[in-house]
Amino acid sequence: MVDRRKWREDFPIRWEEDHYMTRRELARFLTLGSGLLALVNGLIAAVGLTRPSLTVPARRIAGIEDVPVGGSMLFTFPTIDDPCILIRDDDGQLSAFSQVCTHLSCAVVHRPLERVLACPCHRGAFSSTDGRPLVGPPTRRLPRITIEQRGADIVATGVQL
């Protein structure tokens, strides 16, 4: 019996040559595709959580007497073109960060009473203890300068981006 319906004349598809995909094949494709996307997202998240560090030659940046308790001082590291800020909090704990705001590169200033590094350009602020952004447009933390106290000297040993 020959099928003579009108639509078959308008759309002459040869069914035996068409490629069919079974539901099982479609489900397998979707499962593998979703698994692959989840794996890639996991890898991206893992890379984002690790902070790469820059290995640079260690250098003395100050003496401990140069930084008053509750105060700060400016220095450059690892090159003369990289402004940084060294902070000594009320407990005497030392920490150092890049002074370049991660939003649009203005210089941050230390506000010890608020325990922040404030950016005057767009009212951004970072924690002075770990450099994470607190308010304003910046979304990335300030690079941390790793430091060591060697006797009376404060030595910068690297940069955590």
Using a 10 angstrom Cβ sphere, with 0-12 exposed, 13-18 middle and 19 or more buried, the burial of residue 86 is buried
- Based on its alpha-carbon atoms, the radius of gyration of the chain, rounded to whole angstroms, reads 29
Query: Which of 138/143 has CB closer to ligand FES?
Result: 138
Tokens encoding 121: 């350009």
Query: Which of 103/115 has CB closer to ligand FES?
Result: 103
List phi, psi (to 5°) of 158. 180, 180
Residue ranges that bind ligand FES, judged by CB under 6 A: 101, 103-104, 106, 119, 121-122, 124, 136-138
Minimum distance from CB of 83 to ligand FES (Å)? 14
Q: Which of 98, 60, 95, 67 is nearest to 82 (CA)?
A: 98
Minimum distance from CB of 70 to ligand FES (Å)? 24
Query: Which of 51/122 has CB closer to ligand FES?
Result: 122
Minimum distance from CB of 121 to ligand FES (Å)? 4
Which residues on neighbouring strands pair with residue 137, listed in sequence order? none
Query: Which of 67/133 has CB closer to ligand FES?
Result: 133
Task: Calculate the CA dihedral of residues 108, 109, 113, 114 and round it to 10 degrees.
Answer: -10
Minimum distance from CB of 100 to ligand FES (Å)? 9
Distances (CA, A) of 128 to 33, 55, 73, 79, 151: 43, 23, 13, 22, 24
Query: Which of 77/126 has CB closer to ligand FES?
Result: 126
Minimum distance from CB of 108 to ligand FES (Å)? 7
